[in-house]
Amino acid sequence: MSPAPQPPLRDARLTTSIPRHLRYTWDHEWLVVDEGNATVGITAFAAEALGDVVHLRLPEVGSHVEAGESCGEIRSLTASSGLYAPASGEVLEVNTALADEPGVVNTAPYTVGWLFRLRVENIAGALTADAYAAHCAHTQGDRR
């Protein structure tokens, strides 16, 4: 008998849930891997902390990113934050729609607000939803 699906976790400071099927980083990025390729974005926690996103600098298609290393930048009306690769690999695609509407990162960070896709070579230290929720509960605003 398979276990019943678990509902998404809720963090009291978030207006959205933490999807259980994703993996997370200490720097508040998420990824989901399908057949060796990962889709990457920032979490609702990060999006809410940044405020209204107005500009994104994403890695270039064809470039190689290293897990844990800076690979871009996210700017809001009030802050600027580094974007860190949650895995190592070659960037296959970037979400070009965000150039015209970067605020989608705030309104739909886990769906149409994804940032880039890469062919995964190595994932280091990805957190489960439960571990990420615990991390958020102890985070006091340090997002680099």
Residue 3 reports pLDDT greater than 70: no
Query: Hey, where are the domains in the chain?
Result: 23-127
pTM of this prediction?
0.83
Options 2.40.30.330, 2.40.160.20, 3.50.50.60, 2.40.50.100; which CATH number does 23-127 get?
A: 2.40.50.100
Tens digits of residue pLDDT in 31-51? 999 999 999 999 999 999 999
Q: Let me know: does 123 contact 68? Beta carbons within 8 Å.
A: no
CB 101 within 8 Å of CB 113: no
The whole-angstrom separation of Cα 24 and Cα 48 is 16
Q: Assign residue 89 a region: left if phi > 0, alpha if psi is -120 to 50, beta otherwise?
A: left
